[in-house]
Amino acid sequence: MRRTVFAFGLILLATCQMAWAWRPVFNPNNLRDTITVQIIKHCRPAIVSITAHRLIRQEVNPFGNMFPLPMGMGTVEQEPADFLGSGFIIQKDGYIVTNNHVVDQARSIHVKLANGEKLAATVVNSDPSADLAILKISKPGTYPTLQLGSSKGLMIGEPTIAVGNPFGYSQSVSSGIVSATGRTIHEPNNPHPLKNLIQTDAAINPGNSGGPLLDAYGRVIGINTAIRGNAQEIGFAIGIDRLKELIPTLMNPAVVDGHTVDVKFALCPGHQGIAGPHEHVVIAGTLAPRVIAVNGQRVNTLQGAYAALLAVGANQPQVSVKFSNGTTRQYAVKAVPPSPIVLKTRKLLGMVVKQLTPAMAGRMKLSVNSGLLITQIFRHSIADKAGLQPGDVIIQIGPYRVRNLDFLGKLLPAIAKAQRVEVLVLRNGRVGAGYLQIKAQ
């Protein structure tokens, strides 16, 4: 009987260790070494401060303060500005979670690690309606990560810890409790309300946005996102389960890298523990066994599986997935075809365009944040005869400011029926005009 009980204890211990790679332990010999202290010591290397560099439109009085002008009478100029936020690393390759509003319209992004090192980062993908974004540190390396918990079944009153970069004070820590769940708020400049939020009284201030809300096991249960400007000790966080739902989209190779892989991953909950279910990765929509490796990279999280897909080169024909039963399957890699708008533009005007992003504009040192970047011109085409060149940025067609491909798609039917259309482009820092001769005179 004793051997049986002892063996069961070993199995239970192994199960707990598999479910939690790390967990704090109460230390009766040192009351200063609290659970919160242990969690911060363990988690802070994976928490980053974010600086997003943007251009903002600002009204300037050319006469200074000597001759005040009414609102709207000054000249509008674009001025550089830095916006602060927080984030946390979820994958050892350097993938970071933050709020979309922290990095929206950023021309360049830098993250500061807990050790003070400053590194460049880029936006992998974002979802403005959910106010979530995935970044990637540009410097290759192996980075510390935070373990994702669950926002289901949170108990009102259970401890919370918020870590972030409020007002530029990096690695600031505050603690509190879960004050409420299921809250809905409306953020400025976001037409979609954020739903099912966690409310906490842990201090969350400007600059905390995108940082982690941790539970008593040091697991991320939320992404700090908003405060009420006229309130005290009321903060909100997006439940971490919302991020898990969006990882297959935010880290989709078809959107990020322009190639598709004929496989989709999902999380399947396993045994239930004190801190929630132990989840493992499976092939979405199938009864296949647990996924343990993708292209030779061992995976135990959903973000790890998708990071392995993003590491696949577009020229690689297949991706191998290994399962817990020892079997391996191959999945095809295919290039994503150009959008119908790009194909119609090529056929009608003889040029290939891509949507300009603020990050692209920052790298190219452009004075605009949006438009259509010309990547190819075909000889003797309408675009060629108009004098357009690769590297030009189309900013206006006819009387319309063109910011993205979707708006170009709406203009194409009218362009096709026109005889001649004026086009404005940005080239070498200067704006020039040309004419698209659609029909022969």
Which position has the token pair 């989840």? 279
Catalytic: which of 101, 110, 259, 280?
101
User: Can 209 be counted among the known catalytic residues?
Assistant: yes
| Tokens at 416, concatenated | 């096709």
104 in catalytic set: no
Which among 209, 280, 370, 392 is annotated as catalytic? 209
- Known catalytic membership, residue 278: no
- Find the catalytic residue in 93, 104, 131, 257: 131
Point out the residues that are catalytic.
Answer: 101, 131, 209
